[in-house]
Amino acid sequence: MNETAFRPPKRTLRAPSESLQPRGVFMSSLTIQSAATDKTFRTGFRRLALSSLRSLFAIAAFAGAAHIASAASVDEIKSRGYISVATEDDFKPFEFVDNGAPTGYDNEMLALVKKKLPVQVKQQIMPWSGILPGVTTGKYDMAVTAVLVTPERKGTFDFTAPLAESTTFFATKKGSPIKSADDLIGKVIGVQTGSAMLADAKAFDEQLKKTHGGNGLKQIVEYQSYPETYQDLALGRLDAVANTQINLNSLIRTRPDTFVIGQKIGSPVYIAWAVKKGDTAALQMVNSVLLDLRKSGEMYQVQKKWFGASFESMPQSIN
């Protein structure tokens, strides 16, 4: 459904190949930055003084322990009575803290999951930067946060069934004659620099040229942030803006008299919870509940509440 992530600003849904990306980009309050480029895997050892052998050995010991950490089995999880999860503290609308209490889409979904799990859930609310490293070292069984699923991440993590879908759409100023994706031929489109949506816009431009005799977009203008992109669209400096459907739905809800959403111009990517590669026990326990919540329709109700749309055609497995 990253990623300015670890709070160098806000996460955006960008792909690992993109520098510092989210998980995808949502507007100011709705930012999905791609964790892939989150530069999130900081070692956490920067504050350690490496001036002594004791420090060096301590780091080596920690790294070695992390390397050999093995996933808990179903029996082990049931024996200890809980699974440990980490959730981001500030990534609207997926997860954030309001009046001291965790809320947002993932937290609401986790509350539903808790009701059906045979064990308790110990949740740690924390900045994005420590979540995926904590899962890889075995500190947490699962990242219950909006993780953009990418080919690069699949080498390190296994994922639950997706909880949201992220697809790039375009939006225009209300009253624009642009209605379909083909209407963007010869038009100027704005998008955030370094984002997954920029890659989608470029691919869309190439597709237009292939199917329309070399005619594509007039120009793709890159911006540092979406608020300024939306401002230029409102002022008529752009013909359209490309962003995720979730972000644009949020934009339209806040400014319905100014903007309208158009059609999709990208292929869907998915947002899911993550476990360390090979941790099938925790994955299966949570996944079975998530799939039940799809069948009951409860997941789709929560999606509509937080995203203004439901994603009922998502695959059951993305590993």
Per-domain residue ranges of the chain? 1-40+69-166+268-309, 168-264
d(CA 271, CA 236): 33
Measured in whole angstroms, the distance separating CA 274 from the mean position of its chain's CA atoms is: 11
Where does the pLDDT of residue 8 fall: very low under 50, low under 70, confident under 90, or very high at 90 and above? very low
Architecture of domain 1-40+69-166+268-309: 3-Layer(aba) Sandwich (3.40)
Question: At what angle are helices 245-254 and 298-307 packed, to 10 degrees?
Answer: 50
Per cent of the chain over pLDDT 90 is 60
Tell me the average pLDDT across 275-299: 95
Lowest mean pLDDT among 28-42, 98-112, 137-151: 28-42
d(CA 16, CA 35): 7
Asked if the model's pLDDT at residue 59 lies above 50, the reply is no
166 near 1, Cβ under 8 Å? yes
- In CATH terms, the fold of domain 168-264 is D-Maltodextrin-Binding Protein; domain 2 (3.40.190)
Specify the DSSP class assigned to residue 115.
Answer: H
Say if 1-40+69-166+268-309 and 168-264 have the same CATH topology.
yes
Rounded (to 5) percent helix, strand, coil in the chain: 35, 25, 40
Lowest mean pLDDT among 3-7, 97-101, 174-178: 3-7
What pLDDT is attached to residue 11? Answer: 53
